[in-house]
Copies of this chain bind each other. A is one copy, B any other.
Amino acid sequence: MGRTSDARDKILSAARTLIEQRGYTALGVAEICAAAGVPKGSFYHFFESKQALALTVINEHWTEQRRQWIELLGRDRPPLQRLRDLFEATETVQRVGQQDGGKVVGCLFGNLALELSTQADDVQRRLQEIFDAQIELIEKVVAEAHERGETAATVDTHDAARSIVAQLEGRVLFAKLLNDPGQLEAMWRNCLALLGARPLQEGAGSPR
């Protein structure tokens, strides 16, 4: 089975794919190990339980996604344009996932929030922290746009950031249900509307 670190990585990678495709509850440790191509005995060498594995999958996915969000939202571009970049990158991620596996898998955090948050307290707490961190990253950019007078003057930046993340989760839900990444195309219009902002490089008018 190669180096032990390989086995851990293989288990994590297989678990993430299986959780995205079929959720957490449906999976057993034996199946994860079979998909990873590692002996079942090695699982408990790396993870205390299936739930500990799920938390590690969540944390590694957030490490990766957070890096992408910080890169996109920290660019030297106008703030609203950076939000647009984030939505386009999210659509691309869903499109690539669909091309790879045939189906839009949606947002790992949203999926697990609905599947597990009434059952697994530590998963619930971690997902709360991750959504808070997403809201905070977006709020910084919204605050920049607000200072530049590019949002409605009355916008509450924290509330607006939360509304944008809620809209993103709702749109990703539709993308998964309809197996259509194009459901995310409206995010940009929705974001402008939620901020009371005007479209970039376009005349006055929608969505006001």
Contact = CB atoms under 8 A, between A and B. Distances in A.
Contacts of A206: 152, 154-156, 196
| Band of interface residues on A | 35 or more
Interface string A41-85: 000000000000000000000000000000000000000000000
A129 to B, nearest CB: 11
Nearest to A125: B177
A207 B115 contact: no
Copies of this protein in the assembly total 2
Nearest to A170: B166
Interface string A92-128: 0000000000011110001101110111000010011
A114 B118 contact: no
Given A25-B26, A154-B206, A166-B173, A115 B118 contact: no
Choose among A23, A113, A118, A171 the residue with the greatest number of B CB atoms under 10 Å from its CB. A118
Q: Which 9 A-B pairs have the closest CB atoms?
A: A166-B170, A154-B206, A170-B170, A196-B208, A152-B208, A169-B170, A25-B25, A113-B177, A25-B26
